[in-house]
Structure 1
Amino acid sequence: MVKTETFMPIILGTDNNAYGIARSLHEAFHIKPTCFGRGNLIMTRDSKIVNVIVRDFSDDEEFVKEITKIGQELKKAYQHLIIIAASDQYAEQVIRNKSKLEGLFDVPFIDQELLTSLTHKDKFYKLAEDTGLPIPGTQRITVENHKDFISKFDFPVALKPANTTEYLGIHFDGKKKAFIIDDAEELASTIDKIYQSGYSDTMILQEFIPGDDSHMRTVNAYVDHNGQVRMMVLGHPVLEDVTPNLIGNYVAIINDYNEKLYKQIKNFLETIKFHGFVNFDLKYDARDEEFKAFDVNVRPGRSSYFTTASGYNIFAEVVKDLALKEPFTKTVDAKADHLWLGVPKKLAVKYIEDEKIKAKVQKLIKEKKYSYTLYNSQDKSIKRNWRLYKYYHQYWQRYQTYFTNKENL
C-alpha cells in the first residue's frame, strides 16, 4: 500500500486544468491535493476533493514568500511536496524561482535557458527542425521588415506571436491569441496594429494546414528526473473553443495512437534533456502525412484530464518518480478508445464538421465512453452542480456567436 502521508502535490492554479490534475491524483492515491492560486475560481470552489489556498501575490518575491510559508507548514506532515503548474504563467514563475524553491519542494521543471528555447516560438521551431520534429512552413516577421513583409504562402495563413509573454501585455482592438488571415490586406493591417501597440519581438506566419479541428492532435507527456519519458498520451481534438481569447484550447478530444509520432516526440524530449510535464499541439497534414508541431507548453495541457479519464493517469507518474522512487522500466505509449468533453455533448455533436468523426463521437457517447473534467460523481453539491451547469451551458451562446466553418480552408 502506498504511504500517502509521504507526499503532497501542490497544484498551482484553481482553474479547469488544476481541478483535472487534482482529480487525477485523488483518483490514483485517494488523497486531497492542495491547489494554490491568486483566485478562487468556480472549477475548484466548494470541491470536496481538493484543498484550495488563495493568496494575493503580484510578483515573484511575493509568490516565493507565500508558497514557502505554505510549504514550511505542510513539510511538518509530508516528506515530499511536489509542485505541478496548471498554467503557463505559473510554470514560468516556478522556473524563474527554481533555485529558491528546491530543497523545500520537489520541482520537476526545466531551467530558464531551455524554457526560453521552448516558449519563444521562433527558437522552438528552430529546435524542432534540428531534432527532426516536423513543423508547418514558417516565415518570421520583425519590427524591421513588417511594413514591407510579403507572405510566400497562399491564403489563408496563420499568424501568432513568437513571444507570448510580451504579447500578453499589449492591447489593441481585435486582439486574438492567434489569427487566421484571409488576404494580404488583412495581414498588413493586423501586423501594423500589433507593432503599433508596442509589441517588439518576432511574429510567426505559417501556412494554414488544410482541414478543420479534426486534424489537430495533442500530446501530454511526463519525463522523469533522469530524462526518461515515462508516459505519453496522444489525443485527437475534434473541436476547438471558439471564444476569441481561448482559441487554440480544445473542448472535445478522442484518444488516438500513432507509433511514429510517439517516437518523434520521445526523441525530441530526450535530445533536449527535458524534465517534467510537457504538452504539444500538432496538426495532421494530409499532403505529406506528417503531424506538424506548432506549440509546446512546459506544463500539462489545459484538457489534460483526458489522459486519466482514458485509463492513463499521467499525474501518478510524477509521484512514482519523485516520492515513491519507483525506477523507470519502459515508456508507456497510451492507446485507448475514449471521448473527453469540455462542452455539452449535444453541442459537440452539432459543431463537429467531419462526419466520420461525428459518428465516432456519437458511438462513444452511446457506449458511455465519455467524461468531463468537472462533472465528478465523487464531488457533488447543490451549489457546485448549479455553477458547473451554467459554466458548460454558456458555450451554446459562444458557438452561436463565434463559430466559423473551417472545412474548406
Structure 2
Amino acid sequence: MPQILPVLLGGDANVYGMARSFYETCGVRSLAVCRRALPALACSRLVRVAAQDPAFAQDTVFTATLLGLAAQHPGKTRLLVPCADGYTRLLARHADALRGAYRFACPPPEAVEALSDKQRFAAACRAAGLRTPQTVVFCPGGAVPDLPFGWPIIVKPADSDAWARCRFHGKRKVYLAGDAAALRAVLDAVCRSSYCGAMLLQEYIPGPDTRLGVVNAYCARDGSVPWLVQGQPLLQERTPEGTGNYAAVMVEPARQDTALLDTLRGLLQAAGWRGYANFDLKYDRSGTPVLFELNPRPGRASFYCDAAGAPLARPLVEDLLCCGPVTPPKLRPAVWHTAPWCVVRRHCPSRLLLHRAALLRRRGRASAHLLAAGEGAPRRIWFVMRQCGYARKLQGQRQRLEKG
C-alpha cells in the first residue's frame, strides 16, 4: 500500500473521529485544514492542524491552501476528506482543480444541492417512498404563517453551513418551541444574529431519544452503495449548544433496518452520490422511519461505525487506493459515547437499551469518542478535564432550571 496522508477538512470532533479511524485502521496520522480548530483536536498525536485560516472557505483561498499543502508532501498519496457540509460543497465545486493533487470521493455539485437542501431532500424522499416531517419555510422578520400541524414544533435553520458560521447567545442546532410565544422568542434571537437564511418550522415527531436513528453510508466510484451502518442513539447531547447531536449510540447487527437501508441505497444511487453521506431520522408511533436530513459528510457521531467493526477509513482506502470493491461492513455489537458514561446512565430514557449497552461496556465493547489508545498524557489530561467540565455544565444547567 502506498504511503498515505489523510488531509481532513474541518476542525471539530468529527475530524478527530476520522483521524482516529485512519490511525487505528492504517496506522497513519492525519492533517487537518480548517477555518478554526476547536478544542476537540487539542493535544492530539493522531491529527495535526496544518493550516487554519478564517478565509479558508473562500474559493480561491480553499484551492490555493490545499494545493500548497500538497506540494509540501511529495511522494505521499494524499486523501482529501471533507468533514463539514461547507467543505463538501467547496470540494464539489473545485474537484477538477484538486484532482491531480489529491484522491477523494465527492458527490457532484448538483447532487449536493439536490439532497442537502431540505425541501429538495423531502421531494427525493417522497419519490423513494420515505416520509419526512411536514415543514414550513419561514424568513425571519415576517409574519409567522398558519401552521398545518400542532404544537410543539421544531425550529431549525435551512442553511446549516451559514448557521455554523454565526454566533449568538442561546444558539442551538435545533429548537423545540412549545407555543407561539416560544417560537417568537427564537425567531427574535435569530433576527438579532448574523444569520440571514430561512428557518424551517417543522412537525415534531414525538418520542424519546431512543426512537431516533442514524445511518452512515459510503458510495463508491462505480455508483454502488455497498457500505451502510445504522446506529441506535441512546441519548442526545444534554448541553444547550449540543442539542441535536448524539451523546451515545449503540450498534446491534440484528437490529439493522434492512428495508430502510435498501431504500436509502436506492435514493443515493438515483442522485448519483459519491463518498460519504449521513442520515438522521426518527421512528414515529407506528414504527415508520421519518427522515430529517442528509448531511454530505460522515456524521459527527460516525465513529460508532468503527466501534462496531466497520471503520470509516476502510471503504475510502479500498475504493480510492486499492481501486477494488468496497467490502460490506461486518458488524459486531458495540456502544459509542462522547458524553461521560455517568451522564448516559442517568439520562438514557430506555432502561432496557441502557442495560444492553452497559453489558457491552463491561465486555470491553465501548468506545469513548475523543480519546484513542495512541494518545499521550497531555491529551489524556485534556480528556479528563473535558469530561469533568461536561458533568459540571449539566449540574449547573439543572440548578438553573430548578431555580427558574
Q: Give TM-score scaled by structure 2 length.
A: 0.89
Corresponding residue for residue 139 of structure 1: 136
Which of 26, 31, 51 lines up with 1:29 in the alignment?
A: 26
- Which amino acid letter does the alignment assign opposite residue 340 of structure 1? W
- Tell me by how many angstroms 1:169 deviates: 5.4
The SS at the match of 1:394 is: helix
Could you list the per-position Cα deviations for residues 327-355 of structure 1 after superposition, in whole angstroms to 9, with x for gaps in the alignment?
Answer: 35x7x265431110101111210111222
Aligned to 2:402: none
Aligned to 1:366: 362
Counterpart secondary structure, 1:299:
coil
| Contact map agreement 1:242 1:402 (CA 8 A) in 2 | no
In structure 1, C-alpha distance between the alignment counterparts of 2:158 and 2:381, rounded to whole Å: 39
1:298 positional shift = 0.7
User: C-alpha displacement at 1:200, in angstroms?
Assistant: 5.4
Q: Which moved more, 1:357-366 or 1:255-264?
A: 357-366
Q: Over residues 253-275 of structure 1, what are the superposed CA-to-partner deviations in whole Å (9 max), with x where a residue is unaligned? A: 00141111111111111111100
Change (3 A) 1:14 1:169: closer
In structure 2, the partner of 1:295 is 293
Task: Give the secondary-structure state (helix, strand or coil) at the position aligned to 1:135.
Answer: coil
Aligned to 2:374: 378
Structure 1 residue matching 2:41: 3-state secondary structure: coil
Equivalent residue in structure 1 for 2:6, among 4, 9, 33? 9
The answer to which of 43-52 and 257-266 deviates more is 43-52
**For the structure 1 residues 31 and 182, does the alpha-carbon distance in structure 2 shift closer, same or farther, using more than 3 Å as the test?**
same
Q: Is the counterpart of residue 244 in structure 1 residue 240 in structure 2?
A: yes
Residue in structure 2 matched with residue 117 of structure 1 by the alignment = 114
> Given the alignment, which residue of 82, 90, 95 partners 1:93?
90
Aligned length: 394
**1:277 corresponds to which residue?**
276
**Letter in structure 2 aligned against 1:322:** L
- 2:173 aligns with 177
1:351 to 322, 328, 347: 347
Could you tell me whether the CA contact under 8 Å between 1:349 and 1:361 is conserved in 2? Answer: no
Contiguous gaps of at least 5 residues in structure 2: 400-404
Normalising by structure 1, we get a TM-score of: 0.88
Corresponding residue SS for 2:72: helix
- Match status 1:162 vs 2:158: yes
Letter in 1 for 2:261: Y
Distance in 2 (CA, whole Å) between partners of 1:346 and 1:384 is: 21
In structure 2, the partner of 1:310 is 308
Matched ranges for 1:258-277 at <5 A: 258-277=257-276
Please show how residues 314-329 of structure 1 align to structure 2 within 5 Å. 314-328=312-326
1:220 aligns with 2:216: yes
Q: 1:274 to 1:299 in 2, by over 3 A?
A: same
**Alignment gaps of 5+ in structure 1:** 405-409
Q: Which residue identity is paired with 1:236?
A: Q
| Cα distance change on mapping 1:297 and 1:173 into 2, 3 Å | same
CA distance in 2, matches of 1:148, 1:341: 38
CA distance in structure 1 between the partners assigned to 2:288 and 2:138 by the alignment: 25
Amino acid at match of 2:302: S
Q: Is the 8 A contact 2:247 2:337 kept in 1?
A: yes
Once the two structures are aligned, what percentage of the paired residues are identical?
26
CA separation of 1:147 and 1:216: change in aligned 2, threshold 3 A: same
1:389 aligns with 2:384: yes
| Structure-1 separation of matches of 2:273 and 2:198 | 25
- Following the alignment from structure 2 to structure 1, what is the Cα–Cα distance between the partners of residues 224 and 103? 17
Task: Quote the RMSD (CA, aligned, Å).
Answer: 2.5
